[in-house]
Amino acid sequence: MKRWFALSAIGRDRPGIVADLAGLIYECDCNLEDSSMTILGTEFAVLLLLTGEGDAIEPRLSAACKRLEWEKRLTVFFRPLEGEPVPYRASQRATSYALQAVGVDQAGIVAKVTRCLADFGINISEMQTQARPQAETGTPIFTMRIVMDVPEGVKERDVRERLDGIARALQIDLTLEPRRN
């Protein structure tokens, strides 16, 4: 019987991390089904979805993850899923939007914007953030990009009004545009 697992790993970025993880999956007779990887600062982070068969698959994965942590200095976590995951698809009753916020880096931008979205029942499907020094002054400029699904019945005007208030309070530029598929 096919079993599904989510595996995450983080460690100092270096060549070979992906090969180490792919080797672990292969050695455990598993199959990589989906992945997302990124470098955050000096750290490499990955989230993997994998499958395997047999009664001993979970203990084999556990031992292999512990070995990889010890030998390669990665923090690895995995957990079994309760069945085949259903790929994320926005409800047909939701409208996809793109949000971008840009301004001087300060505490609270992500917390306040995402709390506003959550209060409206808006689902975030993608989010990327970064802070980079401005070329001329060195001032850290924060950029956040979000792809989100706004449920039917939520008025765009109400969301914009709350987001505009947050943007004014934080002195950031914020744009919200419907996405075209």
pLDDT digits (tens, 9 = 90+) for 112-164: 999 999 999 999 999 999 999 999 999 999 999 999 999 999 999 999 999 99
Counting residues of the chain whose pLDDT is more than 70, the rounded percentage is: 97
75 and 103, same domain (yes or no): no
C-alpha distances out from residue 121 to 106, 115, 116, Å: 25, 10, 9
The H or E element that residue 131 is part of is strand 123-133
27 and 100, same domain (yes or no): no
38 and 76, same domain (yes or no): yes
170 and 99, same domain (yes or no): yes
The 10s digit of each residue's pLDDT in 34-52 is: 999 999 999 999 999 999 9
Residue 111 lies in a domain: yes
pLDDT, mean of residues 165-180:
96
pLDDT at site 180 = 79
Contacts of 54 (CB under 8 A, 6+ apart): 29
Confidence of residue 175 (pLDDT cuts 50, 70, 90): very high
C-alpha distances out from residue 163 to 1, 42, 140, 150, Å: 48, 32, 22, 14
34 and 7, same domain (yes or no): yes
Q: Cite the beta strand spans of 41-88 per DSSP E.
A: 43-53, 75-80
pLDDT, mean of residues 96-109:
97
Residue 131's domain comprises: 94-178
Residue 59 lies in a domain: yes
166 and 100, same domain (yes or no): yes
Domain count, the chain: 2
Last residue of some domain: 80, 109, 134? Answer: 80
Checking DSSP bridges between strand 43-53 and strand 123-133, what pairing results, if any?
A: unpaired
Map tokens 């100092």 to a residue: 12
113 and 158, same domain (yes or no): yes
51 and 100, same domain (yes or no): no
121 and 167, same domain (yes or no): yes
- Structure pTM? 0.81
CATH of the domain at 7: 3.30.70.260
Residue type, 16: G
The single-letter DSSP state of residue 177 is E
Confidence of residue 86 (pLDDT cuts 50, 70, 90): confident
Rg (CA), the chain: 20
C-alpha distances out from residue 22 to 18, 19, 111, Å: 6, 5, 34
